[in-house]
Structure 1
Amino acid sequence: MSSPLGSVRRPEHTGDRRCWPCTVANSLVLVAVSVAVAFVSRVAALAVLVLGAVAIAVRGYLVPYTPHFAPALGAVFPVDFHEEPGPSGSLGREADGEDVLAALVAADVIVADGETLYLTDEFRERWRREVAALRELADGRFVAAVADAAPRASGARVERRRGHTAVVVEPDTGSVTDERRLAYPVALAEVGAVRALAGRVSDPGIRAAAAEPLRRFLETCPSCEGRVEETTAQQCCGAPTNPREGPQAVLACADCGERLATL
């Protein structure tokens, strides 16, 4: 039997996707309205407060068009209400894009059809198998595989905080500022790609540099195997991250919501 709130729930605006500036702004509005109504009827004010709180809880916000004003309102608070975004680094260092593409074409990983690039079926399957094998590894063996795939790395570690799992690549320089942080699904995809390229591309630096652009060819999520789709990077209950530039196109998992590549 479905919940009576099922028809009004907005999961895209609640749970892990809840925007706290929107929540705070709507709560302040709700309290102000409830206080005003209390001058007429305390019972009515209590009803307004309870119903409004339920609406914010299940829908994300109560006042229409909240995304238009909540970011500006949230900016005046001394606390950043937004969750830290998931890590989005990469294994590889900067490399010449033409050199990387040439190596992938020569290795029969990428096929060019005019200006359109395709991943070969044989490499896609090999990449999928490598990712599946990595997904089964315990943390210790997985971070060893990460360190082995990353150029000039002394080691790696897994960090879990605030709902995000990150893989931190520790540089051989010993400098914390040179550490690279990858979201767990990104690490799975990139290390799997590097391993799948072994024996095809001899230069380890090119293999690592190729891992990031190869993420744009993902069709399933490396972590949950959900469908990957093109969408936009959004913030504040649907408002684009930068209203002047418009929504940023990304590849993300339709099931778990993990962002896998920026387009």
Structure 2
Amino acid sequence: MSVARRTVERIRQPEYTGENRCLPCTATNLVIAAVVFAGVALVSVPVAIAVAALSVASIWLRGYLVPGTPELTKRYFPEWLLAKFDKQPTPDPTPLGEFNPEQALLEAGVVEPCADVDDLCLTEVFETTWRERMAALEDDANLRDGLAAQLDVDPETVTFESFGEAYVVRDGETNIGQWESRAAMLADLAAAKELPEWVTGWEALTPHHRSRLLGGLRVFIETCPTCGGAVTADTEIVESCCRSTTVVGVDCTECGDRLLEVPYDEAAA
């Protein structure tokens, strides 16, 4: 590796560049660089050009020009503006009364009031059949066949890839699905095969409503589909490029697979 290349790599801050780049930070610093350039140009155009080149290089390699910009944007930029730049998907709000996954699962006999706590639990029959379906999908070949049947693709072209906090399914070079983990995918695919036998009018539900039912079911999992350990739920702070968000995470304690992550609603809690 050349000296120049090593120097660039030492200066580069991957936590604030590439896919992690904070766009509000970049925009703010470019504006600052433009103001500085205009001021210096009144004295010396050549010097202003050099300042502009160094400023742009700093923003490109480090993500910002002014130290502390990422934290400043999180603290002082309005939430609605940060949300527009945030790369994390945010669930579309559904008007109250339009669709209630919990009520739908209760009416279908999938869940019922728990015997010992004031909450809902999976019915024994549904939990047994759901877990049997998950177990049958643990083998990669069966999983490919199941996904191919659900998504109408060729099982021979289906591949899996895990990176960061995402588990991605591809059909050739095309992404056809993404989950929090393999465990979450197993749970959804097995539930998608079982729920039509329980939920009246399943075929008439929109993809959005089906997705909410599948995600809602993952809350009730007590044993991890992949490692067999216990499942716990807790709140945590998730850092994105632009802001900090409180979420509720449902995780497998033994292997760390995340089954579900949803924004924390303090009022609802």
| TM-score in terms of structure 1 length | 0.49
Higher relative contact order (CA 8 A, sep 6+): 1
Larger radius of gyration: 2
